[in-house]
Amino acid sequence: MKQKFAGRMLAAVLGAGLAVYALVAYATLKPGDHAPLFDAQASLGGNAYQYSLADQLKKGPVVLYFYPAAFTKGCTIEAHEFADAVDDYKALGATVIGVSHDNIDTLKKFSVSECRSKFPVAADPDAKIIKQYDASMPLVNSMANRVSYVIAPDGTVIYEYTSLSPDQHVANTLQALRDWTAKHKTQ
């Protein structure tokens, strides 16, 4: 009995250790890091086009958010919240783009129904962008974790937030933009 219990405890400790390792191994970019530029096929309002982060940064800050999969419960909630806040982002001179491993055909539908044709979503089926941003789901490299970045026009990450809960991504990125805008108006 004691051996069985000891074996289970060892398995639990090792499992916890691997989980911690996975979280550490997949650390996200941090404020001050340079955001990798990318071009990707995206959809806005059901229309596919080539999205360029470099081109968007010329217009102002970009809120780049990664999400696990279109049409899942949390990702749908998050898309609705970003869509509802698009005017707030615009008022701060920012644009929003979502990225997932989904293919462009799925995202054409998602961009209309869940993003409400308010902001684009980019397809990253090979997880290249997800990996560049260290936004992989722990232990599932091809799928994005729920990570939001605010990127300044010079390409610097000014804010990062990671949480599988979709609840605070919009509020936190808006606050980061407000803080950044206030700081840069006084300079």
Look up residue 54 and give its DSSP letter. H
SS3 138: coil
SS3 105: helix
Angstrom distance (rounded) from CA 79 to CA 119: 9
CA nearest to 159, candidates 145, 174, 137: 174
Q: Does 75 participate in catalysis according to the annotation?
A: yes
Angstrom distance (rounded) from CA 149 to CA 142: 19
Q: What are the DSSP E strand ranges found in 8-130?
A: 39-44, 47-52, 62-66, 95-100, 121-123
The DSSP H or E segment spanning 75 is helix 73-91
Residue 144 contacts residue 68 (beta carbons within 8 Å) = yes
Mapped to the 3 state alphabet, what secondary structure does 112-127 carry? HHCCCCCCCEEECCCC
Which of 35, 62, 75, 158 is the catalytic position?
Answer: 75
- Residues tagged active-site: 75
